[in-house]
Structure 1
Amino acid sequence: MELEELQSSIGVHFRNKELLIEALTHPSVEKCPSYERLEFLGDAVLNLVVASMLYSLFPGDPEGRLSHRQSALVCKSTLAMLARQMNLGSYIYLSNSEEACGGREKISNLENVLEALIGAIFLEAGFETVACFIEKHWYGLAVQSDSIKANPKSALQELLQAKGMKPPTYSIINKLGPAHSPIFEVEICAGGKRNRATGTSKKAAEENAAKQMLEDLTAETR
């Protein structure tokens, strides 16, 4: 039953259940194939898909900038965070000793099992399916990388364009406070959603509105 729940949550149903079990088996479990080989494969697949995604998302970035983005997206902390979001820790097969020392929450175990799961999906369902799985969970992080956060309006425009949606619109709906220290309230419309945000300038209010909209739209992608 647990495996059925996992398969439903990730959107991939394995005909080869042993492959899925192997992807979830920690090396501490004796006399059972562990996830280490699948982890090796999944690491390579993940890097390829993320590199391809970044290449398409940021056509103006030089090689060094793309490498920096990729490193942030495939680092241990990012993988562990995504594994927690998928609740993978509860599905890992552990030895009693590894369980006793908190193995289900170890960053190393979480990142390893996620990479192994990616490798297993690749073997079970092929490249197109595993690419869709990766894009679903990494796309939102990609468009919110550090330089994107510095320019949220451009980030939002790129995200909407990638989704085939119309550009956002911004409208000043209120101006509060004294003339020497005004507060602007802006409404943003994008992707069929509306948000409002404030700022000490029109530009700041629009950027804050774009940040909120980015969070809403990328949350749907995760």
Structure 2
Amino acid sequence: MTGQKMDEVINCDFTRSTKAISLLLNMLGLDVEPEKLGFSLCHRSFLFESNEKAKIESLRVMEILGASLLNLIACTKRFTDRKIPNKQLSTVFEKDKYDINLSFYKYYKVYDYVQFGKSERMNSINREFYQDVSSQFLFALFEQTNFNYIYNILEKFFTTEQMLKDPKTYLLEYTQRQKQRPLYKTVREFGPDHVKQFEVELTALGKSVRARGKSKKLAEIEAAKIYIANNNLNINDNIKVESSPIRLGQKWQISTSRKKELNVILNQLGLDENELPFYMLDQ
């Protein structure tokens, strides 16, 4: 979709009151015409019930572009953290994309400014997370600002330390080095069948903790997390530090044709190589 066509869609009269959107923009410290962002704060149910079904595809495009933007931000943040193994980068990126999007949505109370159809209004009252709307809105903000602005907004929502291993796996490896194994025991089940809860007791190295979950597996994972936290275990001890040239921030040879493709992407994002190097983009 070209920038001109996107502007035509965004400028349609789909906004809540411009005053309400202005409040949100003030919280973001952004001086932008509210009308430019109104369309991005529509849920597809609103368009469907307003007989504007033709515009739903435009929302979908904005959602996809917003998700790509989140991926780029996660990549920029985590790629140079060499404690994250190469094989786990994709998993970390996916988790980051969801977590920072959710945190942004809740922190700025985006749910208060979204136009929903009647079928979705009860969920909006309950402040359920609408990942698609949040992604749409972030992309609309990006179009009015730049990559660095969006990055700076979202950077505070990254967790300071990634759990690179499943807590049960980490605890098993930790105890095996001391020639022991953790023991998980289901001590009780309670609640009606459709919302049953399980309580598990974990014992390892002479210490015990208890945790609950919607399944035995989830309760055991939660118990392992609590044990790790209570005993101040560094979950990333003995993690191999990646030392490949790319993870050290060094460029590698890129073919002429690939470089042309990456230049097109940089131009579409309004960036230059100094802001986002080719090796980062190529990931």
TM-score by length of 2: 0.45
In the TM superposition, residue 144 of structure 1 has moved relative to its aligned partner by: 2.9
Deviation digits for residues 11-35 of structure 1, max 9, x if unmatched? 32323x3331111001122255453
Structure 2 Cα separation of the partners of residues 31 and 136 of structure 1: 39
The reply on whether 1:52 has 2:90 as its aligned counterpart is no
For residues 59-70 of structure 1, the aligned pairs below 5 Å read 59-70=82-93
Mapped partners of 2:44, 2:88: distance in 1: 36
Unaligned segments of structure 1, at least 5 residues: 151-203, 208-222
Summarize deviations over 1:191-216 as a string: whole Å, max 9, x none. xxxxxxxxxxxxx6797xxxxxxxxx
Match of 2:141 among 107, 113, 121: 121
Aligned-partner Cα distance in 2 for 1:49–1:147: 19
Q: Which residue does the alignment assign to 1:158?
A: none
- Aligned match for 2:116, one of 82, 94, 119: 94
- CA distance in 1 between counterparts of 2:28 and 2:154 reads 10
What's the CA shift for 1:134?
Answer: 2.4
Q: Deviations over 1:118-146 (max 9, x none)?
A: 10111111222122222233x3x2x2321
User: Larger C-alpha radius of gyration, 1 or 2?
Assistant: 2
Q: Deviations over 1:52-86 (max 9, x none)?
A: 11012x124332222221121123x6633441222
Instruction: Give the helix-richer structure, 1 or 2.
Output: 1
> C-alpha separation between the residues in 2 aligned to 1:146 and 1:60?
11
Distance 1:98 1:114, change over 3 A: same
Does 1:85 pair with 2:107? yes
Question: What amino acid is aligned across from residue 102 of structure 1 in structure 2?
Answer: N
In 1, are the aligned partners of 2:84 and 2:164 still within 8 Å (CA)? no
Alignment match of 1:21 (pick from 16, 38, 51)? 38
CA 1:136–1:8: 2 relative to 1, 3 Å: farther
Q: Residue 2 of structure 1 is aligned with which of 9, 20, 23? A: 20
TM-score by length of 1: 0.56
Whole-angstrom CA distance in 2 between matches of 1:78 and 1:45: 12
Taking the aligned partners of 1:121 and 1:78, their CA distance within structure 2 comes to 15
Q: Kindly tell me: are residues 78 and 46 of structure 1, through their superposed partners in 2, closer, same or farther at Cα, counting changes over 3 Å?
A: closer
Equivalent residue, structure 2, for 1:103: 124
2:97 corresponds to: 74
Q: Contact (CA 8 Å) 1:12, 1:121: kept in 2 or not?
A: no
Residues 63, 133 of structure 2: 8 Å contact kept = yes
Q: Aligned residues, how many?
A: 146
Checking the alignment, whether the CA contact within 8 Å between 2:100 and 2:154 is kept in structure 1 is no
- RMSD of the alignment, in Å? 2.9
CA–CA distance in 1 between the matches of 2:93 and 2:66? 15
Report the residue type matching 2:147 in the other structure: F
Moved more, 6-15 or 89-98: 6-15
Q: Could you tell me how far apart the structure 2 residues matched to 1:38 and 1:8 are?
A: 23
Could you list the per-position Cα deviations for residues 158-213 of structure 1 after superposition, in whole angstroms to 9, with x for gaps in the alignment? xxxxxxxxxxxxxxxxxxxxxxxxxxxxxxxxxxxxxxxxxxxxxx6797xxxxxx
1:67-216 aligned at under 5 Å gives the runs 67-75=90-98, 79-99=101-121, 101-104=122-125, 105-107=127-129, 110-137=130-157, 139=158, 141=159, 143-147=160-164
Secondary structure of the 1:146 match is coil
Runs of 4+ residues over 6 Å off in structure 1: none
